Each structure stands twice: as C-alpha cells, then as structure tokens.
Amino acid sequence: MVKRYQAILSVAALSLMLAACNADEEEVKTSSATQTEEASTDGAKTEAANENATKTIDYLGQTYEVPVKIDKIIAASLESMEDSVVLGIKPVGVISADGSSIPKYLEKELAGATVVGSKREPSTEAMLALDPDVIVSSSKFDETKMANFNKVATTFPYSHISTNWKENLALLGQLAGKEAEAKEAIANYESALQSAKESIATSELKGKDVLLIRVRGGLAVYPEAVYFNPSLYEDLGLQVPAGLAALKAKTETKITYETLAEWNPDVILLQFSEDENTDTPEILKEVLDNPIFNSVTAAKENQVYVNIIDPLAQGGTAWSKINFLNAFNENVAK
C-alpha cells in the first residue's frame, strides 16, 4: 500500500514538473514572438524614417531640400537630359522637342523614359503620375512654372548658361550618387581640351575669326557666354569676331546678310534644325545660295560647316561641350 502511495506521489510530482516546463517553454515562445514582432515593427519604422529622411544640397547660391534616397529623377529639360547621358543616369521622365518622342540624338541612351511634355510645356500631371523624388528642369522656366513643378517634387532650375556646366554636372552627380563619374567626365574633357588648344596654337586656325550662326528663320548669333560660344572662345581660345564683340548682345540676336559681310569671318559654323524652321523649311538652302553670304571669306575658302553637332544640342552642357570638342577636332581643326 505504501509503495502504491509513493508511486502516485511520483506520478503527481512528474506531472507538476512537466506542466512547469511547458509553461516556461510557452513563456519563452511568447517572449520570442513579442521580441520578433517588436524588432519587425522597429525595422519598419527605421526603414520608413530612412525613406523620409532629407538632406540639403547647395546649387548656384541656393539651398534645396531633397530625399536622402533618390531613385526617381525627372529630367524636365534638354540640358539635364544631355548630362544624364554623360553620367549614365536613367531618368524616369524626360521632355521632348515635339511633346511626344525623345529627341533622336538622345533616344538610345534614354530609351524607356516617359515623355512628360514638350520642352516649353512639361506637364505637371504627367510628372505627378511618376511620383519623382526630384525634378531637374531649366533656368529658362518662369517662376509660375517652377512653382507648379515644386508642388510635385523639389525642382532644380538647371542652368542654361554655358559657363555653369561644371556646377550643373556636379549637381546631377550628387542627386544620382555619381559624384565620381562627374569629376571624371570634367577631368577627361579638360585633358582633351588642352590637347586641342595645343594643336590649334600651331594650326591655320590661329588668329582666324570663327563665327557660329544658328539658322532660325534667318541668321541668329549669340553672346560670347551663351550656347556653344564659350567652347569656341573661352575653352579653345579662338578669336572672337570684332563685329560680334561690338554687338554686345545679351540674348539670341538676328543679323542681316549685310552685317555678316561686314564681319567677314574666316570660319562659319551653321546650326540648322528642321524642327526649329517649320515655317521656313528652305531657309538653309536660301542661306547657302545667298550671294552676299557667298561673298564672305569663310564661304569663298570653303570654311562653312553645317551641323558639326546635332542642331538640337543645347551648347552649355557637359554632353554638348564634350561632343562639340570631338566634332570640332574631326571636322574643323583637322
């Protein structure tokens, strides 16, 4: 009887021990699950905080607030599109000369981007649909358009002034995490430029007047610091025609054939785009056939070059400067 009683006590004790162990195990599981859930929640909060984190970027004397993490950039200007190609950036949105298709000279590298409107009228609705982190537009846009763009995302007025090309590329490099690529592109250009300058110093171009003309329903010229002129006069050190210097133009300025004859440049670079001359499709032929045009030294000595670079190229970007230098070396300074 005693033995039976002892057996019963042993079974009871064992049951109590097992129950205690199970309770401890359940407590451990519950604690572990709670910790996992808390860690997951904290991780989600941290990730959300990181995604919403911002930083400031200084650009041409102004400070802008942008997300720390930038994945989606809209290049709402031809200038920023050109430099995106230099840095290998794939914008989610771009603009177009005709409002529907990527310009041919950039379409291969920017294929897949959504066209959000024309270069003069980007659509805020189309940009909003892409949910961009930042927009890189153009300093050509007025305050009203810039205010509308900023309602979609922080917008940079990418400078169209040629002398700001390095600051432009550095900005794009910061936004896309490609600072090293931007510095390398600038260094490579300056190295190629130095070689070109040394060649020109001992060539027939030394001391010659070189004039770039944009054909837009007539003959248009630019100030020394606009379009491709800084590449010619500042970078390559070519001679500014006295007539252009005396003109003191501040923007694109139309000149007559008679004025051109007075300036009498030694070399003429003509830029002509059909897209910019829809009302005067025969204007390039008219220019080349004009007897006064053919009386200038450049025409008489066969030193007139048409579209050595794509006529839609903006002139004041890293892409334009790099490709213009290559084209000038191959076609004019040969």
pLDDT recorded at residue 250:
85
- For Cα atoms 298, 301, 302, give the angle at the middle one, nearest 5 degrees: 80
204-331 shares the fold of 55-179:
yes
Which of these ranges, 60-64, 132-136, 278-282, 299-303, has the smallest mean pLDDT?
A: 278-282
Mean pLDDT estimate for the chain: 89
pLDDT recorded at residue 41:
56
pLDDT recorded at residue 14:
41
Q: With cut-offs at 50, 70 and 90, classify the pLDDT of residue 57.
A: very high
pLDDT recorded at residue 18:
42
pLDDT recorded at residue 46:
52
pLDDT tens digit sequence for 65-81: 999 999 999 999 999 99
Q: With cut-offs at 50, 70 and 90, classify the pLDDT of residue 197.
A: very high
pLDDT recorded at residue 275:
87
Share of the chain above pLDDT 70, in %: 85
Which of these ranges, 43-52, 151-160, 226-235, 248-257, has the smallest mean pLDDT?
A: 43-52
Q: With cut-offs at 50, 70 and 90, classify the pLDDT of residue 16.
A: very low
Domain layout of the chain by residue ranges: 55-179, 204-331
> Which letter does DSSP use for residue 53 in this model?
-
Q: With cut-offs at 50, 70 and 90, classify the pLDDT of residue 36.
A: low
Number of H helices, E strands in the chain: 13, 12
pLDDT recorded at residue 52:
78
Q: Do the Cβ atoms of 258 and 292 come closer than 8 Å?
A: yes
Mean pLDDT of 202-229: 94
Report the b/e string of 291-315 with b at 16+ CB within 10 A.
eebeebbbbeeebbbebbbbbbbbb
Cα 327 to Cα 213, 223, 331: the distances in Å are 16, 21, 6
Q: Under CATH, to which class is 204-331 assigned?
A: alpha beta
Which residue type is seen at 170?
A
Superfamily covering domain 55-179: Nitrogenase molybdenum iron protein domain (3.40.50.1980)
Share of the chain above pLDDT 90, in %: 78
| Both structure tokens of 77 | 């200007």
Q: Parallel, antiparallel, or unpaired for β 114-118 and 134-136? A: unpaired
If residue 126 lies in a helix (H) or strand (E), which one and from where to where?
helix 124-129
pLDDT recorded at residue 34:
56
